[in-house]
């Protein structure tokens, strides 16, 4: 009895899966941080303008800046979480590839 397993095909599929998931994750993370930076720049301008007009106090301004640092910490945690999700997605993909392989095994 001979069992034929196409290991090369499994390897190719796993590499492709890894490239798709992790490259997608990296691109999304960079895009998200760029958007956050742009948003923060806009917010800072608005806070400074309100400070100049006396609509907020200097303490309020400091608290808003501290809050933004807190948001950045939340963003960093989110990125860790999204990296974990990408990893789990990869794991799930590998399982699917292996299941498909088992189903297609030819016994001669």
Partner 1 sequence: MHYKTFFSLIFLLITSCATISIFDQKAYENVVACKVDTLVLMSKATESYTVYKKELEELNKELDKAYEYDKNRRLNIITIQMWDKLRDPNSQLLGGFLKEWSENDHLLKRYVAHKQNQIGQGFDIIIQLESNKLR
Of the two residues 20 and 81, which places its CB atom closer to partner 1 in the complex? 81
Q: How far is the CB of 41 from partner 1 (least distance, A)?
A: 14
Residue ranges in contact with partner 1 by CB under 8 A: 3, 5, 39, 43, 46-47, 50, 55-57, 60, 63-64, 66-71, 73-75, 77-78, 80-82, 84-85, 87-89, 91-92, 94-95, 98-99, 101-102, 105
The CA distance from 8 to 78, in Å, is 36
Q: Which of 83, 92, 104, 88 is nearest to 9 (CA)?
A: 104
The CA distance from 6 to 107, in Å, is 12
Of the two residues 12 and 57, which places its CB atom closer to partner 1 in the complex? 57
Q: How far is the CB of 19 from partner 1 (least distance, A)?
A: 19
Q: How far is the CB of 93 from partner 1 (least distance, A)?
A: 10
Q: How far is the CB of 13 from partner 1 (least distance, A)?
A: 14
Task: Classify the C-alpha dihedral 22-102-11-16 as positive or negative.
Answer: negative
Of the two residues 5 and 19, which places its CB atom closer to partner 1 in the complex? 5
Phi, psi at 107, each rounded to 5°: -105, 120
β strands within the chain, DSSP E = 3-4, 106-107
């Amino acid at each position: 009895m001979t069992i034929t397993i196409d290991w090369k095909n499994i390897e190719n599929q796993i590499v492709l899966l890894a490239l798709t998931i992790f490259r997608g994750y990296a691109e999304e993370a960079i895009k998200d941080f760029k958007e956050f930076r742009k948003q923060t720049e806009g917010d800072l301008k608005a806070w400074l303008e309100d400070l100049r007009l006396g609509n907020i106090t200097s303490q309020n301004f400091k608290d808003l800046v501290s809050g933004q640092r807190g948001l950045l910490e939340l963003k960093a945690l989110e990125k860790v979480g999204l990296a974990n999700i990408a990893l789990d997605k990869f794991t799930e993909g590998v399982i699917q590839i292996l299941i498909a392989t088992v189903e297609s095994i030819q016994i001669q």
